[in-house]
Amino acid sequence: MDEMTNIETLQAGLLAEIDAADTPEAVEALRVRALGKSGEITALLKTLGAMTPEQRSAEGPKIHGCREAVTAALTARKAQLETAVLNQKLAAEAVDMSLPADMPPSGSVHPVSQVMDELAEIFADMGFAVATGPEIEDDWHNFTALNIPETHPARAMHDTFYFPDADAEGRAMLLRTHTSPVQIRTMVGGNPPIRIIAPGRVYRSDSDATHTPMFHQIEGLVIDKGITLGHLKWTLETFLKAFFERDDIVLRLRPSYFPFTEPSAEVDVGYKQEKGRRVIGGSGDDEGHGWMEVLGSGMVHPKVIEAAGLDPDEWQGFAFGTGVDRLAMLKYGMDDLRAFFDGDLRWLKHYGFSALDIPTLSGGISA
């Protein structure tokens, strides 16, 4: 009887204290006091061993009942207090999303990204889709299929970064040296007619004020029936007028050589010298003007069309390629290419674009 009262008193006292505990730490201290190694209920449990079987069957359920009641109370109180702590924290750290920002959003869009968006917008308006290809290429797509066989001097001119191992088909692996392999991938994978641009990163082992080991190109490819140099010239003229946002763009197509085009032309635009800067526009032959090379282009070589699995008697086309970084420098007046990749916040702040400056033909291509 005496023992019974003890258990009841102990239980009632513990439950009252658990109820009054006001931090999770206080609850934990009570748990140790009641159920820890030398806890009060633990001590009671230990007395069971010395009892006669009769005593044990009478006392056992009471002691275990006490332990269960206290354990349940501890768990419940702990959860309650933890919820309260969390709610308090949530209330204290709440952010009112309806308040005006005390700082405008920072960060800016890199000129290269901006120019790529501008180009995609301009060419989308002419019905071109954007195509992509891998930056880790094999030498068949990067060279062979583009009519640059192994012995071709152009391979040496590209300063290629090679990987030590060939792929499963025995093709040498490399970092693509230009975006032209996307021409091949698009022709192999798609059904003509084809009208694509392919912007992206390219790599060459080269580094000075105007060359970085990684830079950006954009490729254009049109494959259809009855395509002529006239289509090429109109497309480039329309593109450059939209890009530089002026109507007085004058092009000069200079005969040139690329293995993957025949005939090939390098495209110059006229510029005039204004306050020590070259401003695109006008004929390069006028007084005080000059010509600046901006693009490589030509009619896709029949061998290239054939390598990509199409019949060159049925399909013709033109292609062009140019450096995106250089286009950005020309349009926005930067003079050192290396600064593009330094990640200098002051440069990015000065030359970067707001995330809200999305180029659209209706709203204006540049910011």
Residue ranges in contact with ligand DAH by CB under 6 A? 178, 180, 219, 258, 261, 296-298, 319-321
Sign of CA pseudo-dihedral 171, 175, 177, 180:
positive
Shortest Cβ 133–ligand DAH spacing (Å)? 13
Shortest Cβ 331–ligand DAH spacing (Å)? 19
Enter the tokens of residue 125: 């308006």
Cβ 200 vs Cβ 182: under 8 Å? yes
Helix (H) and strand (E) counts in the chain = 12, 11
Shortest Cβ 177–ligand DAH spacing (Å)? 7
Integer Cα distance of 163 and 167 in angstroms: 10
Q: In the complex with ligand DAH, which residue's Cβ is closer, 158 or 272? A: 158
SS3 (DSSP) at 351: helix
Q: In the complex with ligand DAH, which residue's Cβ is closer, 270 or 321? A: 321
Q: In the complex with ligand DAH, which residue's Cβ is closer, 258 or 351? A: 258
Shortest Cβ 107–ligand DAH spacing (Å)? 32
SS3 (DSSP) at 339: helix
Enter the tokens of residue 53: 């079987």
Shortest Cβ 366–ligand DAH spacing (Å)? 24
Q: In the complex with ligand DAH, which residue's Cβ is closer, 31 or 216? A: 216
SS3 (DSSP) at 105: coil
Shortest Cβ 360–ligand DAH spacing (Å)? 27
Kindly state the DSSP code that residue 81 receives in the 8-state scheme. Answer: H
Q: In the complex with ligand DAH, which residue's Cβ is closer, 319 or 324? A: 319
Shortest Cβ 326–ligand DAH spacing (Å)? 12
DSSP annotation string for 273-321:
EETTEEEE-B-TTSTTEEEEEEEEEEEEPHHHHHHTT--TTT-EEEEEE
Q: In the complex with ligand DAH, which residue's Cβ is closer, 244 or 318? A: 318
Counting every residue, how long is the chain?
367
SS3 (DSSP) at 104: coil
User: How far is residue 165 from each of residues 77, 185, 324, measured CA to CA in Å?
Assistant: 64, 22, 30
Enter the tokens of residue 178: 């230009």
Shortest Cβ 149–ligand DAH spacing (Å)? 16
Q: In the complex with ligand DAH, which residue's Cβ is closer, 56 or 201? A: 201
Q: Which residue has the tokens 């390629």?
A: 321
Sign of CA pseudo-dihedral 107, 111, 112, 117:
positive
Q: In the complex with ligand DAH, which residue's Cβ is closer, 190 or 282? A: 190
